[in-house]
């Protein structure tokens, strides 16, 4: 065991390539302090799940090192397995077995027996409001119930580090909110460290104390949600143009706009223009006037407080929803969703 | 009890429960052997008159063949279950717990073995109801069941390994349909070896399916040839151990693909 302040999770320069030259990780570095909730945020295919698979001893990296709770995932996977709880995207509770039976088996695999096991299983069934359904086969559970059972399965042996891979993907809004509350409660408990992956900006913002934004297999920026948003001083101004501008027009437009008073960091992307401004409301008329002089029609203009989407846009150089859509396409072309 | 044994038991229990909760499935798996026994048994009733069957009732001859063939055809689909567990995420969940890889695979082996033994015993009973005679007695029947369990283990383990490697239903279906009939007909399942063309008989000598039939039939006859029983049984055991070992090794390549 390391000292108490040793990171709960530490990954250094993880590289992983899948057959067919698909680079999943390209120098992934993360450090998670004990007792905190850490969010890995990124679009599909950014490398979040691969990172979790390596940290939970399922997959091996091509190179790089990682420790979880002070144990090396490559040299002592058995020790890592005893200290972690894993809630994967498909946790695969046995559908023909009941909720209670699933929990009992999971507990037995960690060496829990007899009265201690029965007590722990009851505790978890109560806590995740599954007590009424405990005797029913899991195949009759709703999506939200299944997900709660998945989390309970990951907690049976009181792990030090809990991995939650996309905990709310596929849940309806109501079940998602309930799951967020549950994760929020877990976070405060007994020094449990949680590493959460998500592709919902809102989820990371709400649950994680620190966020690492992942893009194309590496972390592009890391910090607390507030510090990340704070780095983007001022407001975000989004403009939609009537027509897309070409490469030449884009450079010209950028140069004109960046020179305007109170306007910083302009990004032109097809019909969309994003700018940062010290005072969004004051910048809008200035920007509109500049567009009019340049002869470019503006369809709409909005001013917003910075969101994680803006953070993503700034560090990954593309919009979050686009990256998500692109990577989904890429995966579909590659023939697998990993 | 050591951890390895108890873990194997938990993994077995889990699968037995699935089997026990789907009684319809268990009954369906018995329909085919019944068809073989009674339709085939009646259709080829007179074939014993050719001689070389060591009995005057074709059903006596057919029962061990159908037992072994059923062991093959039910175990060769084991990979489908593994594939389903991979897709559902169950296998990955177990792989991140301290459970040993050997226990995961051996759970399958023990479960399939118990199911095969039960299935074999039922077929033997059905044969008895149909009028078959087993001069080798209980001991002979037990040896037939052990041989069919070993054969089932070989093909079950290989099927599991295949499921983990290719992760495609189609490949398992393709390989199984390709193998099942040739393996069956290149054995003494339906026809006495002395009536087979000699090239077929030579191929059958290398067919594990045939080893199980030879061992079982000999043990069930009035005057067992223990040399045959031991040599074929030993070969089946060696092959089963190798196949299980290979399937446990397959976890490594599976984890490379995760």
Nearest CB to B258; choose among A59, A91, A95: A59
What strands, in cross-sheet order, belong to the sheet with A161-165?
Answer: A84-87, A161-165, A193-198, A37-41, A210-215, A218-223
Give A-chain residues touching B95 at CB under 8 angstroms: 57-58
Residue A336 scores a pLDDT above 80: no
CB contact under 8 A, B99 and A109: yes
Which among A60, A92, A109 has CB closest to B90? A92
Contacts of B91 in chain A (CB under 8 A): 92
Q: Which of residues 144-173 of A touch B (CB under 8 A)?
A: 153
Tell me how crowded residue B162 is: count the other CB atoms within 10 A of its CB. Answer: 22
Cα–Cα distance for residue pair B110/B4, rounded to 1 Å:
13
Using alpha carbons, select from A8, A7, A1 the residue that is nearest to residue A161: A8
Tell me what pLDDT residue A323 has. Answer: 67
Which of the residues B4, B17, B25, B98 would you substitute to probe the A interface, choosing the one with the greatest number of A C-beta atoms within 10 Å?
A: B98
Query: Interface pTM (ipTM) of the complex?
Result: 0.87
Mean pLDDT value across chain A? 86
Distances (CA, A) of A150 to A88, A106, B14, B65, B194: 8, 11, 17, 45, 59
Please choose, from the candidates B30, B3, B34, the residue with its C-alpha nearest in 3D space to the C-alpha of residue B106: B3
Distance CA A213, CA A292 (A): 36
A12 vs B: CB within 8 A = no
Chain A residues whose CB is inside 8 A of the B85 CB are 92
b/e per residue, A40-74, with b = 16+ CB within 10 A?
A: bbbbbbbbbbbbbbbbbbbbbbeebebbbbbbebe
The answer to whether residue A96 neighbours chain B at the CB level (below 8 Å) is: yes
Using a CB–CB cutoff of 8 Å, tell me whether B3 touches chain A. yes
Nearest CA in chain A to B18: A96
Asked if A110 has any chain B CB less than 8 Å from its own CB, the reply is yes
Q: How many CA atoms lie within 13 A of A241 on its CB side?
A: 22
* Stated pTM of the model: 0.83
> With an 8 Å Cβ cutoff, are B258 and A58 in contact?
yes
The domains of chain B are located at 3-257
Chain A nearest-CA distance from B33, in A, is 27
Instruction: Inspect the interface and report whether the beta carbons of B6 and A56 lie closer than 8 Å.
Output: no
Q: What pLDDT, on a 0 to 100 scale, did the predictor assign at position A2?
A: 42
CA nearest to B255 within chain A = A59
Residues B157-193: tens digit of each pLDDT: 999 999 999 989 999 999 999 999 899 999 999 999 9
Residues in chain A closer than 8 A to B256 (CB atoms): 59-60
**Confidence category of residue A327, pLDDT binned at 50, 70, 90:** low
- Which B-chain residues 30-69 have CB contacts (< 8 A) with chain A? none
Cβ contact, residue pair A109, B94, below 8 Å: yes
pLDDT computed for residue A297 by the predictor: 86
Which structure tokens are listed for A30?
A: 């993360």
* Structural contact between residues A178 and A144, judged by C-beta atoms closer than 8 angstroms: yes
| Residue of B18, B86, B93, B107 to mutate, interface with A, max A Cβ within 10 Å | B93
Residue A81 binned pLDDT confidence (cut-offs 50, 70, 90): very high
**Stretch among A126-140, A256-270, B45-59 having the lowest mean pLDDT:** A256-270
For A225-240, write each residue's pLDDT tens digit: 888 877 766 788 888 9
Neighbours of A321 (CB within 10 A): 12
Mean pLDDT, residues A260-274 = 81
Q: Contact B139/B220 with Cβ under 8 angstroms?
A: no
* Cross-chain residue pair B97–A106, CB shorter than 8 Å: yes
Subunit contact A97:B14, Cβ cutoff 8 A: yes
Who among A81, A89, A91 is closest to B98 (CB)?
A: A81
Give me the domains of chain A, ranges plus CATH numbers: 9-229 (3.40.50.300), 233-305 (3.30.70.2470)
Please state, as a whole number, how many other Cβ atoms lie within 10 Å of the Cβ of residue A152. Answer: 26
Closest residue to A92, CB basis, from B18, B88, B255: B88
- What is the reported pLDDT for A337? 35
* Chain A to chain B Cβ contacts (< 8 Å): 72
Among candidate residues B252, B85, B164, the one with its CA nearest the CA of residue A88: B85
Among A179-193, A324-338, B204-218, the range scoring the smallest mean pLDDT is: A324-338
Closest CA to B116 of B163, B69, B75: B75
- B14 with A105: Cβ contact below 8 A: yes
Contact criterion met (CB below 8 Å) for A258 and A283: no
Residue A338 has pLDDT above 60, yes or no: no
Question: Measured between alpha carbons, how far is A189 from A184 in angstroms, rounded to an integer?
Answer: 9
Who's near B133: CB < 8 A, 6+ residues apart?
B55, B57, B60
User: Per-residue pLDDT for A284 more than 70?
Assistant: yes
Distance CA(B192)–CA(B48), nearest Å, equals 8
Inter-chain CB proximity B88 and A57 less than 8 Å: no
Cβ contact A107:A120 at 8 Å: yes
Highest-pLDDT range among A63-67, A235-239, A334-338, B129-133: A63-67
């Amino acid at each position: 065991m390391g000292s108490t302040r040793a990171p709960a999770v530490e990954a250094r320069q993880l590289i992983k390539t899948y057959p067919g030259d698909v680079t999943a990780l390209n120098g992934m570095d993360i450090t998670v302090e004990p007792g905190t909730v850490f969010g890995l945020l990124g679009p599909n295919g950014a490398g979040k799940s691969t990172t979790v698979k390596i940290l939970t001893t399922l997959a091996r990296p091509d190179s790089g090192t990682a420790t979880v709770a002070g144990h090396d995932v490559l040299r002592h996977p058995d020790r890592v397995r005893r200290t972690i709880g894993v809630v994967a995207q498909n946790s695969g509770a046995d559908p023909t077995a009941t909720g209670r039976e699933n929990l009992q088996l999971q507990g037995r695999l960690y060496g829990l027996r007899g009265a201690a096991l029965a007590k722990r299983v009851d505790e978890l069934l109560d806590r995740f409001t599954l007590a009424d359904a405990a005797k029913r086969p899991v195949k009759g559970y709703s999506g939200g119930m299944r997900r709660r059972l998945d989390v309970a399965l990951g907690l049976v042996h009181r792990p030090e580090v809990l991995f939650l891979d996309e905990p709310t993907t596929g849940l309806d809004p109501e079940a998602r909110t309930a799951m967020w509350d549950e994760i929020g409660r877990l976070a405060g408990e007994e020094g449990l460290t949680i590493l959460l992956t998500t592709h919902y900006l809102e989820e990371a913002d709400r649950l994680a104390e620190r966020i690492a934004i992942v893009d194309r297999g590496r972390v592009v920026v890391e910090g607390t949600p507030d510090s990340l948003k704070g780095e983007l001083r001022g407001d975000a101004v989004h403009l939609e143009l009537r027509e897309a501008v070409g490469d030449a027009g884009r450079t010209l437009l950028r140069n004109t706009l960046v020179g305007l008073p109170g306007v910083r960091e302009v990004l032109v992307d097809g019909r969309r223009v994003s700018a940062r401004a010290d005072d969004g409301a004051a910048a809008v008329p200035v920007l509109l006037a500049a567009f009019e002089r340049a002869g470019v029609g503006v369809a709409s203009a909005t001013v917003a407080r910075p969101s994680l989407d803006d953070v993503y846009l700034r560090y990954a150089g593309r919009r979050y929803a686009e990256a998500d859509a692109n990577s989904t396409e890429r995966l579909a072309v590659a023939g697998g969703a990993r | 009890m050591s951890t390895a044994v108890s873990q194997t038991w938990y993994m077995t229990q889990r699968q037995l429960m699935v089997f026990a909760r789907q009684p319809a499935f268990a009954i369906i798996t018995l329909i085919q052997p019944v068809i073989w026994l009674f339709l085939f048994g009646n259709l080829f009733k007179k074939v014993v008159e050719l001689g070389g069957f060591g009995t005057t009732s074709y059903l006596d001859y057919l029962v061990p063949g159908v037992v072994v063939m059923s062991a093959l055809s039910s175990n060769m689909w084991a990979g489908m279950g593994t594939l389903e567990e991979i897709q559902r995420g169950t296998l990955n969940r177990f792989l991140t717990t301290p459970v040993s890889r050997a226990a995961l695979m051996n759970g399958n082996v023990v479960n399939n073995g118990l199911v095969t033994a039960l299935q074999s015993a039922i077929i033997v009973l059905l044969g008895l109801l149909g009028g078959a005679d087993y001069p080798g007695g209980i001991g002979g029947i037990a040896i037939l069941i052990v041989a069919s369990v070993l054969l089932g283990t070989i093909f079950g383990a290989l099927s599991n390994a295949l499921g983990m490697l290719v992760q495609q239903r189609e490949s398992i279906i393709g390989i199984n349909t390709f193998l099942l009939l040739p393996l069956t007909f290149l054995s003494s399942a339906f026809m006495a070896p002395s009536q087979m063309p000699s090239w077929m008989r030579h191929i059958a000598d290398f067919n594990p399916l045939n080893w199980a039939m030879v061992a079982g039939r000999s043990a069930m006859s009035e005057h067992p040839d223990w040399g045959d029983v031991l040599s074929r049984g030993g070969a089946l055991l060696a092959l089963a151990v190798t196949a299980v070992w290979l399937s446990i090794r397959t976890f490594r390549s599976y984890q490379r693909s995760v």
